[in-house]
Structure formats: structure tokens, C-alpha cells
Amino acid sequence: MDYIREVEKILIEKRNKGLMLFHKDWLIIEKWKALGIPVKIVKEGIDSAITGLNFSQKGEFYTVPTLAYCEKQVLKTWKDFKESRVGRSRVCDEDKEKAPFPHRALEYLDNLQRRIERDIETRKGKESVVIPEDLERKLLSNLKDLVKKIKNNEVEEEGEFEEELKSLDVGILNSLKQAIDEKKLSSFKNECRKKLLPYRNRMEDKDYTESLEAMLDQKIRQEFGFRNLSEEEFYW
């Protein structure tokens, strides 16, 4: 099954006309695929996301239900599905959503640190993946510093927290880019261009350039096993 095309068919069906993937929309599908979200769950999340959208008299959407628009609901549907399978009640979920910012942020960081430590252990002994140990130590150290900032009320709002995570993520990602030799980096770029080729004539130059950069970033993350620090499935 072609995962991307199956998801694209869902939105085509919902809009009753052909769907074009613009900008980074297709990267969202790649993310869902990487997270292991079944197409059935994607469909349920998309259905939920577009419920309530205003329709014209002809039954057309006033608001185009892009993948970016649907992403948060798809991730929430996937989260609810996984938690329902291990017996966690909806009531517990609602209580968690009402928890104050510091509690949610600290819980997220604790889960994030554990995840990174597990990933490090999993990668040990795999010669194909080489992550500089100093970067691993730096990342874990920076996350611990962020915990201290939250506890000391230096970071008090969700927006500030997200910016801190984004800054850490970009810093580590840039360091990983510098750790790749030019030959391999060139190979990655060529691979990304080939994957983007089917969408090239649908995209503006700016969209193409940004999508190419985003795809290259994703490829580098896969190479080093470095996932985005602010993936919504862990926080929201």
C-alpha cells in the first residue's frame, strides 16, 4: 500500500475534487507514516477535523481541509486510540489536559529524556549510525537546564516552552548537519530531489526550496535517529 496516496485519496474524497499537495503538506503524511499511524486512524482524525466546517450551497468547503489543518486532530485521535488500548479512561485524559502548564511541561520533558536515553541504548552497536557523544550529552544537559528554568519560573508560558524546545532542536540538528561528510550530504540531497519530483510542477519556487530543506532535515534526523524534540504526540 502506498501510504501517501492512500491518505491523499481520503482528502480527495472529502473535497470531491483533486487534491494538490502544497508546501510541506506531504511532509506531514511522512510524519504520520513514521509514527506508525494507521490510515484508518488518519481518516478518523481528518473526518473529525473537518466536521463543522462551513459549506457553500453547492456543498463545497469554504475552508480547504489541508493536511496542516487536520494534523492536530489526527495526532489526538492516534493518542486516544493508543491510550484506549491500554485501559486509560477518557476522564483521566481530560484531567491531564486541565493540568497546569508547569506540570505538563515537566512531565513532557521527563518522557522526552527517557525516550532519548532509550534511543541511545537502542543505537549502541550499530555501526551505520554514529552520533557524536558530546552532542548526546549536550542535549540531555540542555533538557535538564530547561527543567530548572521551569521550576524556577524562568519559563512560565507554553509559547516560551515551545521556543526553548525549538531552539534546542535546531541547534542539535545544525550540529548534525556539520557532522555529515559532503559526499553523503550530496547523496541525501539528490534522494530528496527525486522524491519531490512528482510534486515539483505543483509548487512555487519558495515552496519547493523550503520543502527540499525540510525533507533534507528529516533525512538527517533519520540517519542519526534524532527525532523532533517537540513532536505533538508527546506533549499535547
CB atoms within 10 A of CB 11: 22
Mean pLDDT of the 14-36 span:
68
Mean pLDDT of the 18-29 span:
64
Beta bridge partners of 61: 55
Mean pLDDT of the 58-75 span:
65
Per-residue 3-state assignment (H helix, E strand, C coil) for 174-190: HHHHHHCCHHHHHHHHH
pLDDT band at 1 (very low <50, low <70, confident <90, very high): low
pLDDT higher than threshold 90 for residue 18 = no
Predicted local confidence at residue 106, as pLDDT = 92
Predicted local confidence at residue 23, as pLDDT = 57
Report which of residues 185 and 90 the model is more confident about: 185
Predicted local confidence at residue 55, as pLDDT = 46
All three cell numbers of 154: 524562568
Task: Using alpha carbons, select from 178, 100, 73, 102 the residue that is nearest to residue 134.
Answer: 178
Predicted local confidence at residue 168, as pLDDT = 92
Report which of residues 132 and 151 the model is more confident about: 151
- Cell 485524559 identifies what position? 93
pLDDT higher than threshold 80 for residue 85 = no
Q: Please tell me the distance from the alpha carbon of residue 78 to that of residue 233, in angstroms, as a whole number.
A: 8
pLDDT higher than threshold 60 for residue 95 = no
pTM score > 0.85 for this model? no
Task: Using alpha carbons, select from 115, 6, 126 the residue that is nearest to residue 67.
Answer: 6
Residue 103 main-chain phi, psi, to 5 deg = -65, -45
- Mean confidence (pLDDT) of the chain: 76
Mean pLDDT of the 152-163 span:
87
pLDDT band at 101 (very low <50, low <70, confident <90, very high): confident
Under 8 Å between Cβ of 216 and 189: yes
pLDDT band at 207 (very low <50, low <70, confident <90, very high): confident
Q: Report the SS3 class of residue 55.
A: strand
DSSP alpha helices (H): ranges in the chain?
Answer: 3-15, 25-35, 39-50, 67-85, 90-97, 101-123, 133-151, 158-179, 182-196, 205-224, 232-235
Predicted local confidence at residue 48, as pLDDT = 83
